[in-house]
Structure 1
Amino acid sequence: MAQTPQQRRANERFAKNEAAKRGRGSTIKPKQVTKSPVSAGWVVVLAFVVCGGLLLELLRIVPELWTSIAAMLSRLTG
């Protein structure tokens, strides 16, 4: 199948663009490594303080909740 004049012009434009791309070198920018303003050690300390405090608070609250639930059940059944 022969090319139409419109297809021929489109192919010539495409070839011209591709040749222009090859003439220029590709400029790839290297990725910049971003450094965190807080060190990993401080993140670990902060997580320990927050999670440790949460764990201690749960250990304090759970027995109180258990005793109140047990008292409520004993009132309902007795």
Structure 2
Amino acid sequence: MAQTPQQRRANEKFAKHEAAKRGKAPGNVAKPTKQVSKPSLSKGWVVLLAFVVCGGLLFELLRVVPEIWAMLTRVLG
């Protein structure tokens, strides 16, 4: 019994679907290109964040150190 055009289209569609499930042959697979990932923060934002954190710490130390020094001179002197 010969295939009807409708059966032929259905068979071709099924064959394409099955071929897609199996994947491509090793010779046809393209090598993946190496992608360079971008950092989530730019250098400027990192510098600003470091300045805010370290600068705040520095100013706090400059405020606290004289108080500690005065307390030590009273205790030891």
**Normalising by structure 1, what TM-score?**
0.54
Unaligned runs of 5+ residues in structure 1 are 1-23
Q: Which of 36, 41, 49 lines up with 2:52 in the alignment?
A: 49
- Mean CA deviation greater in 50-59 or 31-40: 31-40
> 1:58 offset after TM fit, Å?
0.3
The aligned length equals 49
Unaligned runs of 5+ residues in structure 2 are 1-26
User: 1: distance between equivalents of 2:65 and 2:33?
Assistant: 53
Q: Which of 61, 66, 69 lines up with 1:63 in the alignment?
A: 66
Output the aligned Cα RMSD: 1.8
Overall identity of the aligned pairs, in %: 57
**Normalising by structure 2, what TM-score?**
0.55
> 1:48 offset after TM fit, Å?
0.5
> 1:33 offset after TM fit, Å?
1.3
2:42 alignment partner in structure 1: 39
Tell me, what secondary structure is at the counterpart of 2:35?
coil
After superposition, residues 12-27 of structure 1 pair within 5 angstroms as none
